[in-house]
A and B are shown apart, each in its own frame.
Chain A
Amino acid sequence: MNNVVAKILIVLQLVFSICFMCFAGAVYSFQKGWRDRAESAETRNGELNLNIEQMRSDKETQESSLNAEVLKERTRAEDALAKLENLRNDLVQSEQELANQDAEREKHLADLGIAQEEAEARGVESNALRQEVEALRDQLNTGIKRRRELDGQKLDLQSEIGELSEREEYLHTEIARLRDLLRLNEVDPDEVYVGTVPAAIQKVDGVVRQSRKNTSRTVELVEISVGTDDGINKKMKLIVYRGRSFICEIEVTDVYPDMAVGRVLEETRNGTIERGDHVTTKL
């Protein structure tokens, strides 16, 4: 019986020993495999940690840079907003200025229209004034011409006045002389004269141009070189002489400004009339 139990125990011991050995070997082998995998996993974990740290640092760097960029962009955005606001204000101001400029332009256009109308009116007025100036110039020319004529008349009148003054002086002298003569002849110059007074005859000298008789040869006509310009009148009697010889008297029948024709008074004839004989109103 003991042998059987011992044998059973020995077999059981053997089985359990083998089982123990197998489990120990399995543990060792599995442990080694797991260890290698753990080491590789640890290595990978370390690498991953390093990568994580690197990425974290990169992330922090990027975050800081991004924060800086965000801050910068925010600043830029604020600046842009400020600029936008300024531009908006400028736009509003520019629109207001544009409206003011438009209003001023409209006003200037209206002023321009008024100025154009005024210029046209001025043009019409200037044309009228030009015509008036032309008329006044014509009047001025006429006045100048008239003034020249009046100046000529004035000169003529002045010369005539001078001649008349000289004649007046001569007449005064003559009156004084005649008064002296009357006083010498004991004649009162204030005495009243009764009857017609013969006209005073001025001494006029001329020459005989030609003489001829009429068709019936009853009257001899003489043409002389003096006329109305020399004071010769119709029916005036003239004396024809040659040197110191009296020839005859003639009576003027026709008179012209520079010549006259006279009829010979046969009762006074004392000789033959020839061309070039002298003729006078009184000797």
Chain B
Amino acid sequence: MSQQSSDPTIYDGLMFVSLGAVITGIVFLILTLNEYGWSGG
């Protein structure tokens, strides 16, 4: 087992930022689909 550092780096932050961006994009897409009467399945 190699020892790994537990301090979050900038890249972790970038990962969360990208996660938030993806979630925001998905919300936009859902809202767009709702505009066309999409019911989720």
Contact = CB atoms under 8 A, between A and B. Distances in A.
Contact of A24 (B14, B29, B35): B29
Interface residues of B, number: 17
B19 to A, nearest CB: 8
B32 A14 contact: no
Interface in A220-244: none
Interface in A1-46: 6-7, 10-11, 13-14, 16-18, 20-21, 23-25, 27-28, 31-32, 35
Interface of B: 11, 14-15, 17-19, 21-22, 24-29, 31-32, 35
A47 B14 CA distance: 52
Contacts of B28: 21, 24-25, 27-28
Given A17-B21, A21-B21, A27-B32, A10 B11 contact: yes
5 contacts: A10-B11, A13-B14, A20-B21, A25-B28, A27-B32
B18 A13 contact: yes
Nearest to A13: B18
Contacts of B29: 24, 27-28
Contact of B25 (A14, A20, A31): A20
B14 A18 contact: no
